[in-house]
Structure 1
Amino acid sequence: MFEYDDLLVNDHKQVQRLKIADTLSKLFAERASQNDEEGRFPFENFKELKEEGFVKLTVPKKYGGGDLSLYDFLLIQEKIAEGDGATALSLGWHNGIVMNIRDSNKWDEQKFAQICYEIVNEGKLINSCATEPTSGSPARGGKPLTSARKDGNVWIINGHKTFTSLAPALDYFIVTATIEETGEVGEFLIPKEADGLRIEKTWNTLGMRATRSDDLLLTKVKVQGDALLSIRMQQKPEPQGWLLHIPACYLGIAKAARNYAVQFAKKYQPQSLPHPISEVPEVRRKVAEMDIDMMKARHFMYHVAYLWDHFPGKRKKMGEELAAVKYVVTNSAINIVDMAMRIVGGQSLMKEHPLERYYRDVRAGLHNPPADDLTFMKLGQKAFS
């Protein structure tokens, strides 16, 4: 098994969390195929994650959470993704959003305290909803067509959001909307019980099927004035370390694919050979190539996470590094899964084996932010600035 956790983990609490995560991951792996095939959100997995306190990991300690560092957050993401990438990515959005609010201090403290209380004591789930059918990814600068209009002390919100991960399980939706009176883009907190809020089942995809990233429809949704959480500033956005939960997830999928291929090679012996294919030089070369990709991606990602945690004064200058991590790790993960399938051969295409699911799931990383072309643009601009 590919494990370098001895290089990364040196704290008793880390070890205990990872042991629990490993146990959960193995359980999730048993359910992953059926959830994927049926495109069903893993409610059972999240019930167990809540019972083990994994939905409050990034909540500040003063509100009863784990106050997890970015480094430790990524370790959990990677481990859960070994069992089920869709569960890990879904968990990452929730915990990452909470981490971002915690570290940016962009919410009113009383509102944040209330949400943290509900997460810690009631297992509430939250995610951001920013992408729209025509405006595309917010990372490309599109202004939301979703609108918010003030009527006394009430906001009236209308719009259509896509890629709403965890849609059937969310308790709160953080919705970006253009404020009609000012043209500013605001973030609004909308509870699932709000009249006029509806989830439309549109998520029928190649990979990450169990994230249930369905469409969110908002028709004359009314929320109180304090539902406006923040105004999006026009200047260059701050680097967001929490988004590294995305590459950590795909690295976990790649690790699972690599380990599966190695175990397969140890056991599989065709009639044409007097030994298992693990002794074939080309198979060993491919495994070595996978391991080099894994080491390269893993050490890069965790080094940047370490810098983020220990040198907060440098975070504003880390945008290019964070984008580069996502590019390197995600593309390395895709290469690793592809190489694992080459080792296993035609059987890797069969539904009874997990490799074809790994192959579909890992490719979703190309479409998570930031996209590769935006990373190249960012790095190119920095080089010539």
Structure 2
Amino acid sequence: MTATLLTLPVPDLSDDALAAVTAELAATAEEYDRSGALPTAGIEAAHRAGLLTATVAERHGGPGVSPLDAVRILVALGEGDPSVALLAANTLATHQGQAVANHWPAPAYADLLRRSAAGPALVNAIRAEPELGAPARGGLPATVARRTADGWSLSGHKAYATGGTALAYHVVWAVADEPEGDPAAPRVGHVIVPGDAAGITWIDTWDHLGLRASNTHDVVYDDVRLPAGAFVEIPRGADGVYRDPAAAAGITSFGHPALYVGVARAARAAFVRYARERIPSALGRPIAETERIQAVAGEIDAQIAQAETLLYGTLLRAEAGHTDHLPQLSVLKVQIARTAIAAVQAAVAALGNPALTRHQPFERHLRDVLCVRVHPPQEDAALLAAGRRLLTH
């Protein structure tokens, strides 16, 4: 069977259908945040709705939704449970990349699609390492893919491998060690690794402030044997240097900021609900009727309106064929992140102690939204690159 023989579901992307998925995820989000367990209920809900394979290309039997609809999905998932949304974002990005360029070996991608048709099949690019950190700021991995008589042997230690044991496939950043290679300038690429391959060991290291259910643990590869086609080289630039694919934003890289816009929307809904229900004895009416709380609600709404306009507007302009904003994609992501954080912080600051107790969802939303800052390109790098572009051209 080939990938093209599969027919994956076409998801219902109406506002009502997405809102129903949001509500289903939200019903278990607090439970998974407290336990740190893999959010299986939310993952299953996203799979049943056809959202985990929404970006599979039509030529592979998928619906091939646009980047705009992909971020709509992730806003909805992020509003329900951002840990589920992060797992989905990484998976959707993998399928988007394959839709643009068939870089996966055909047998591996066909297997991924078969698994996706049968149940949730998560994928993640696993790049960070304990010593190096994230590669967006340069450096080469210590993880090595060594040539064997019939393929490759992968060995190394990776950090922040979101998805953990739930991953159907790992896309592992590594250096190639091969007899015919140049030791001074080795090939660098991604190794496509089935999650159930022999030689993979997980180390439970994830004990984080936010996105606690994302299962972002360390993973060790010890002589993991893979076929010859498993190594996919990253092309060098014109200057002979490898460029980290995550070091600059592209049109299909807005899934991560989108899920945090969803977190801000969840905080707004919680603020409205709390303000309507909270009736201090000294006031004798809901705090929602006071000008102070109404002004804060307006501030929250303004920040979310800005984040959504930047998010959707960026993609709509690209769909319309505009290119003048493409050099600004990285700083647009920065601004989306800033406004999502500002919306949640406004809610927390206005409510004081109730917003910081675990009996209310605000502190969870704050912890989760702060994680937007870790996704590359990070704020200082994006601003530096934008400033250099302006001042040197």
Normalised TM-score (structure 2)? 0.88
Residues of 1 paired with 2:293 and 2:337: CA distance?
Answer: 23
Residues of 2 paired with 1:92 and 1:149: CA distance?
Answer: 30
Residues of 2 paired with 1:178 and 1:285: CA distance?
Answer: 54
Structure 2 equivalent of residue 7 of structure 1: none
Structure 1 equivalent of residue 197 of structure 2: 194
52, 62, 83: which is aligned to 2:49?
A: 52
141, 144, 163: which is aligned to 1:144?
A: 141
Residue aligned with 1:205, SS: coil
Residues of 1 paired with 2:250 and 2:74: CA distance?
Answer: 17
Residue aligned with 1:219, SS: strand
Aligned in 2, Cα 1:357/1:322: closer, same or farther, shift over 3 Å?
Answer: same
Question: In the alignment, is residue 226 of structure 1 matched against residue 229 of structure 2?
Answer: yes
One-letter amino acid of the structure 2 residue matched with residue 59 of structure 1: V
Instruction: Indicate if the aligned counterparts of 1:297 and 1:329 stay in contact, CA closer than 8 A.
Output: yes
Aligned in 2, Cα 1:60/1:199: closer, same or farther, shift over 3 Å?
Answer: same
Question: In the alignment, is residue 304 of structure 1 matched against residue 285 of structure 2?
Answer: no
Deviating beyond 6 angstroms after TM superposition, the runs of 4 or more aligned structure 1 residues are: none
Residues of 2 paired with 1:17 and 1:127: CA distance?
Answer: 27
Identity %: 26
Structure 1 equivalent of residue 290 of structure 2: 280
Aligned in 2, Cα 1:95/1:20: closer, same or farther, shift over 3 Å?
Answer: same
My pick for the range that moved more, 110-119 or 279-288, is 110-119
Q: How far has the Cα of 1:318 moved from its partner?
A: 5.5
Residue aligned with 2:129, SS: coil
Structure 1, unaligned stretches of length 5 or more?
1-12
One-letter amino acid of the structure 2 residue matched with residue 284 of structure 1: Q
Q: How far has the Cα of 1:186 moved from its partner?
A: 1.5
One-letter amino acid of the structure 1 residue matched with residue 135 of structure 2: P
Instruction: Indicate if the aligned counterparts of 1:18 and 1:75 stay in contact, CA closer than 8 A.
Output: no
Question: In the alignment, is residue 323 of structure 1 matched against residue 330 of structure 2?
Answer: yes
Q: How far has the Cα of 1:65 moved from its partner?
A: 1.2
Structure 1 equivalent of residue 345 of structure 2: 338
Instruction: Indicate if the aligned counterparts of 1:139 and 1:369 stay in contact, CA closer than 8 A.
Output: yes
Structure 1 equivalent of residue 95 of structure 2: 98
Q: How far has the Cα of 1:92 moved from its partner?
A: 0.8
344, 360, 372: which is aligned to 2:379?
A: 372
Residues of 2 paired with 1:93 and 1:104: CA distance?
Answer: 17
Structure 1 equivalent of residue 209 of structure 2: 206
Structure 2, unaligned stretches of length 5 or more?
1-9
Question: In the alignment, is residue 270 of structure 1 matched against residue 267 of structure 2?
Answer: no
Residues of 1 paired with 2:12 and 2:198: CA distance?
Answer: 44
Aligned in 2, Cα 1:62/1:101: closer, same or farther, shift over 3 Å?
Answer: closer
Question: In the alignment, is residue 159 of structure 1 matched against residue 156 of structure 2?
Answer: yes
Q: Indicate the RMSD between aligned Cα atoms, in angstroms.
A: 2.1
Instruction: Indicate if the aligned counterparts of 1:18 and 1:79 stay in contact, CA closer than 8 A.
Output: no
Structure 1 equivalent of residue 253 of structure 2: 243
Q: 5 Å matches for 1:75-154?
A: 75-108=72-105, 111-154=108-151
Q: How far has the Cα of 1:344 moved from its partner?
A: 2.6
Q: How far has the Cα of 1:105 moved from its partner?
A: 3.8
**1:269-300 Cα deviation digits (max 9, x unpaired):** 21222432222222222222111111111111
Count of aligned pairs: 370
Q: How far has the Cα of 1:157 moved from its partner?
A: 1.0
